[in-house]
A and B are shown apart, each in its own frame.
Chain A
Amino acid sequence: MGNTLARRSRKWNLKRNWPLHMMLIPAVLLTLLFAYVPMGGIVMAFQDFKPWTGIMDSPWVGWKNFEKLFGQPDSIQVMWNTLILALSKIIAGLIAPFLFSLLLNEVRVSSFKRSVQTLVYLPHFLSWVILGGILLEILSTEGGMINKLLGNLFGIQPIFFLGDGDWFRFTVVISHVWKEFGFGTIVFLAALAGVSPSLYEAAVVDGANRWKQTLHITIPAMMPITIVLATLSLGNVLNAGFDQIFNLYNALVYDKGDIIDTYVYRTAIISGNMGFGTAVGLFKSAIGFVLIVVAYRLAYKFAGYRIF
């Protein structure tokens, strides 16, 4: 049997398998055109590219665009901003759903549990344009709901949530957690659903109270998926979230809130610095590539995680 399998695998068997190749043609062509052709376009990173001269005739400048990237104070600041924002979002984005799942796991009334889930999953599906519009409204210093509430309850002066650099970072992290923590609980709750009730029964027989059960059964049950998520998020340390930042930031907070993706958009598309923009983008893609590969290898090694 093994022998026939091995022999069969060396043959293309086109008589039966030609439809399989046919089916893949559209996706292959689309991917070639819209993913691999742009990869060829990264040569622009080494040019002083102008759209009207094109890739063939734009002058080559060697590593000049990259020297500019590491030589300019504002582009270095952008990289720091990206790292700081992305890391804070990753850490807060892991802790919040973890704790929330623990609390939700203690709810015994299933209708209440389901209602909570319905409400907290919702913000994930709304776009940052909608949420940006809402946040601009409720965080406004001129009668926004949040500032009014803080003023009435604690007598706090209106806070420039989106106009002051440090408050901006805080707002970005909190609003990210607000949007995604509910959706993040899904994987944790799935892990908890797989815990055998007999473990808890045995713990009760041994005299463990609910806190001890959480500590020794529930939390260990959540650890494998937590490790996988933490490892995979390594691939995201340069993704600070273009959609969110772009819909919340303004010129007042560029020094603390501008990230690589928004910087590329502004320098390349708005200011027309195509070569430099490509170089910054390439830098991010290249680092991102290494990080993702490392992250998946680690996740496979430590937790046996595979995507397919």
Chain B
Amino acid sequence: MIYRTNGYRLFTWFNTIFLACISLCCVLPMIHILAISLSGRDAATANLVYLWPVDFTFDSFIDTLSNRNFSRSLIVSLQRTLLGTAIFLIIAAITAYPLSKESYSFRGRSLYAWFFVFTMLFTGGLVPNYILIMKLGLNNSLWALVLPTAVEVWSIILLLNFFRNIPKEMEEAALIDGAGHFKTMWNIYLPLSLPALATLALFTMVFHWNEWFHGMLYNTDASNYPLATLLQTIIVQQDFTKMAINPEDMENISNKSVKSAQIFIGALPILLVYPFLQRFFVKGIVLGAVKE
């Protein structure tokens, strides 16, 4: 349908311009930061850079990547993201499968379900969690960053709803052919749920890459900081006391152009997976949010 009144045509023009402006507002700050990071230090400090680099140079990126604190945190973040996503996927799959069964065929299902859902409603709070990690001796360990968040109930519910949309007849056929639950899950449910699993994996990767608070809370030693925590400490809090840095490096780190390069590298993996993420997430969210 096309509406040919003059008023609507005028509206369409204004609407297009308005939406274009709003969309640009969402990415301009990122482009500004990229421009500063690719600019010379003097130009950056003098605030001469807007959206295009002045005195183009890669120096800030080279300095950032050759900084030992930075590269060490980058590795911690990569390890954390891989380990965290792997554990999460395994737990989510083997937990969502039993919970997707109906109560009449799997006695005890409701009890298990409420056991998990209750943790979404009520938590012990920050302090008891902190004390627990300290008492378990998990501080300064990667496990403190991946185990407490491994059972993500919301994602499990998403996945179990996906499992429920798989036709029952397939499971019954497998049962008649003599397959047990392990075989049914592995050979039928998981292959058919690859899109859902991929979506959840990407979301978990983004979560672990971005998560900074646990990294700060559970690590007393700054050499174990994931990248997000390191950036939080040196860029947002501007606290250098925890890092062993000599005064010359200090000068380099607090430079505007270098800071921007650090921010940009911190955001880069998200920008790289974003196109893949976008293909999945609309489907994934609607799948969980709208139930008939």
Contact = CB atoms under 8 A, between A and B. Distances in A.
Given A5-B104, A19-B181, A209-B5, A41 B228 contact: no
Interface residues of B, number: 103
Interface residues of A, number: 99
A153 interface: no
B217 A16 contact: no
A35 B95 contact: no
Contact of B1 (A17, A39, A190, A200): A200
B125 A123 contact: no
Contacts of B106: 17, 20
Nearest to A144: B47
Contacts of B126: 261, 264-265, 268-269, 277, 281
A230 B211 CA distance: 27
Interface stretch (B23-31, B58-66, B68-76, B192-200): B23-31
A126 interface: yes
A26 B124 contact: no
A116 B19 contact: yes
Interface stretch (A71-79, A80-88, A102-110): A102-110
Interface string B1-44: 11101001001100110111011111101101100100000000
A30 B151 contact: yes
B50 A119 contact: no
A39 B128 contact: yes
B103 interface: yes
A157 interface: no
Interface string A127-143: 10110111111100011
Interface of B is mostly: helix
The listed residue with most A CB atoms (<10 A of its CB), out of B5, B90, B289, is B289
Nearest to A54: B135
Contacts of B271: 122
Contacts of A186: 281-282, 285-286
Nearest to A18: B181
Contact of B125 (A24, A118, A284): A284
Interface of A: 5-6, 8-13, 16-17, 19-21, 23-24, 26-28, 30-31, 33-42, 44, 51, 100, 103-104, 106-108, 112, 115-116, 118-123, 125-127, 129-130, 132-138, 142-145, 148, 178, 182, 186-187, 190, 200-201, 204, 209-210, 242-243, 246-247, 261, 264-265, 268-269, 274, 277-278, 281-282, 284-286, 288-289, 292-293, 305-308
19 contacts: A9-B103, A9-B104, A12-B108, A16-B181, A24-B98, A35-B123, A38-B125, A103-B18, A106-B11, A116-B20, A119-B23, A127-B266, A129-B235, A133-B262, A142-B47, A145-B29, A187-B285, A268-B127, A289-B122
